[in-house]
Amino acid sequence: MDKLLPLDNLLQQARALDAGDPLAAERANFHMPQHPSRGGEALYFTGNSLGLQPRAAENIIAEELEDWRKFGVEGHFKSRRPWVNYQDELTEGLALIAGAQPLEVVAMNTLTVNLHLLLISFFRPSGNRTQLMIEAGAFPSDRYAALSQLQLHGLNPEDHLIEIAPRPGEHTLRTEDIEARIAQAGNRLACCALSGVQYYTGQLFDMARITAAAHKVGATCGFDLAHAAGNVPLKLHDWNVDFACWCGYKYLNGGPGCAAAAFVHERHARRPELLRLAGWWGHNPERRFKMEPDFDSMSGASGWQMSNAPVMNMAALYASLETFKRVGLVALREKSLALTAFLESGIHAVATDTGERLEILTPADPAARGCQLSVVAHGHGLELFKHLTDRGVIADWREPGVIRLAPVPLYNSFEDIAQFLLLLAEGLRTSS
C-alpha cells in the first residue's frame, strides 16, 4: 500500500479487499474471541502471543481422550495416532514450517527447555573461543538462558557475553552491523544465538547472512524462532543454520503452553559424539524398551528428545499443522504482506488525520518483517491502550509505550484492521 488510506471510506476499501481474499474462508475454521462492547467478535491482533483455537482441535483432543478411555496403556500402539510415536505425526508440518528435512525437526518439550538443550550441544567454549552472542533486548528468557549457560561453563558474562545493539537513535539492527560484530569477535566467538523475528520490534533477521558470517569465523549459529515459525518463510536447511527452536502456541495455534519444536541441521544428524543431555526417548527406538544402560542416540533432531510425547498437549498442534499443510506457506505469506501493508498505511493515515505522532518501530521493508507492527503513540500511554481494549481490541502492550499488533493471515481480515484504525483515531482524539 503506497498511498495513505482515506479514513472516510476505510471500511468499504477493507470489505472490497476481503471479498477478493482467497483465504477469507479460513477464518471460519477458528474460534474468534467475543467482546461485549462489540456485541460479537473481538478485534484480535495477538496471535504473536497466543494463536486462536482451531475448530478442529476439539475433535482431535476428543479422539485422544476416547482412545485413552478405550485402550488404556495399549493406546500407545492401538490408538488411531499411536502415542508411542505421536511426535512423528507432527514432523511433516514442522518440516514445512521450518524449511527443513523431516530428519531435522522434532516436536518436544517447551521453548526455553529446547534452547538450553541445544546450547548444551552447540555452545562448547574451549581455549580462546568462549563468547556467546545474543541481541541486546532479547526476550528475557533467552537472556536468562544465555547467562546460565555461561555460568555452567564458569564464564563471566562481562567478558564472554556479546549483546549486539542497534545504532544510537535506531530501533532495529542492521545486518551489516551484525556481520561486522561477528567478524570482530573472530575466533573468540563460539556461538551466535539470535531471534529469527525480534519479539519487541518485529524485525525479521537475515538468518542466511548471519549464519554464513558465524560459520566464516568458525562459530555455530542458531535461532529462537518463537515469533518466526508460522509467520515468515523459513529455509533453515538451505541456510545451513546449526540449530533452532520455537514454541507451538503463537502463530502455530497449538494452545497455551503447547509443546515446542527443535531443528538440528542434517550435517549434525549422525554425530553421537556431540554432547547432549540424553533421555530415553532419544535412544534408538528399536532398542528403547530393552532398557539398556548405554545411550544409543537416534539420528537427527529426534536424538535430542528426552521424554515421550505429551499427547494431549500435542493434539491441538497436530490439528493446526494440518491447516498449514493444506493452505500452504506461499498463500499465507502473500496475505500476510497485504494485511501488514494495509495496517501500516492505515496507521500513517490516522497520524495524518489526527495530527498525532505514530511511530512504527518495525522495519518498513516487508522483507525485514513478518506480520507484526510495533507502534508507539507519542504523547499517549496506557490510556490509549485502555481505550482500545474497552472497545474490543485485543492487542499487546509492552513497556515503556509500545503496542504490538499482529494481523494473522489465517484468521484476521482487512475489515478487522479498518475497525481497529477507526478506534485508534477515535482514541487519539479522545486522549489528546
- Asked whether the predicted pLDDT for residue 140 surpasses 80, the reply is yes
Q: What is the DSSP letter of 228?
A: T
Instruction: Give backbone dihedrals phi and psi of 374, rounded to 5 degrees, phi first.
Output: -105, 120
Cα distances (angstroms) measured from residue 335 to each of 17, 100, 234, 317, 400:
11, 23, 16, 22, 31
Grid coordinates standing for 187? 575466533
> What integer is the mean pLDDT of 218-242?
98
> What integer is the mean pLDDT of 347-352?
95
Output the CATH code of domain 7-31+329-430: 3.90.1150.10
Task: Flag whether the pTM goes above 0.85.
Answer: yes
> What integer is the mean pLDDT of 308-315?
95
* β-pair type (161-164, 131-135): parallel
Distance of CA 288 to the CA centre of its chain: 32
Cβ burial 297-310 (10 Å sphere, 16+ → b, else e): bbebbbbbbeebbb
H/E/C letters for each residue in 373-415? EEEEECCCCHHHHHHHHHCCEECEEECCCEEEEECCCCCCCHH
The DSSP element (H or E) to which 283 belongs, if any, is none
Which pLDDT score, from 0 to 100, does residue 75 have? 97
Which pLDDT score, from 0 to 100, does residue 4 have? 59
Instruction: Give backbone dihedrals phi and psi of 31, rounded to 5 degrees, phi first.
Output: -85, 115
- The ranges assigned to domains in the chain are 7-31+329-430, 60-326
CATH fold for the domain made of 60-326: Aspartate Aminotransferase; domain 2 (3.40.640)
- Alpha-helical runs (H) found in 186-310: 207-216
Q: What confidence category does residue 381 fall into, taking pLDDT thresholds of 50, 70 and 90?
A: confident
The DSSP element (H or E) to which 272 belongs, if any, is none
> What integer is the mean pLDDT of 113-140?
97
pLDDT (tens digit per residue) in 276-294 = 999 999 999 999 888 999 9
Which pLDDT score, from 0 to 100, does residue 8 have? 77
Going across the sheet that includes 396-398, the strands are 358-360, 373-377, 402-405, 396-398
> Can you state the angle between helices 207-216 and 175-185, rounded to 10 degrees?
20
Instruction: Give backbone dihedrals phi and psi of 61, rounded to 5 degrees, phi first.
Output: -65, -40
Torsion of CA 251, 254, 258, 259, to 10 degrees: -90
| Cα 281-286-291 angle, rounded to 5 deg | 60
Grid coordinates standing for 268? 549434525
pLDDT (tens digit per residue) in 396-411 = 999 889 999 999 999 9
pLDDT (tens digit per residue) in 146-184 = 999 999 999 999 999 999 999 999 999 999 999 999 999
Contact 262, 245 (CB under 8 A): yes
Torsion of CA 420, 426, 428, 431, to 10 degrees: -130
> Can you state the angle between helices 329-354 and 10-19, rounded to 10 degrees?
170
Q: Which residue has the cell 509500545?
A: 402
* β-pair type (261-264, 243-246): antiparallel
Q: What confidence category does residue 431 fall into, taking pLDDT thresholds of 50, 70 and 90?
A: confident
> Can you state the angle between helices 382-390 and 414-430, rounded to 10 degrees?
130
> Can you state the angle between helices 311-327 and 91-98, rounded to 10 degrees?
50
> What integer is the mean pLDDT of 87-97?
98
- Asked whether the predicted pLDDT for residue 268 surpasses 60, the reply is yes
Q: Over pLDDT 90: what percentage of the chain?
A: 93
- What whole-number distance in Å separates Cα of residue 177 and Cα of residue 340? 26
Which pLDDT score, from 0 to 100, does residue 153 have? 97
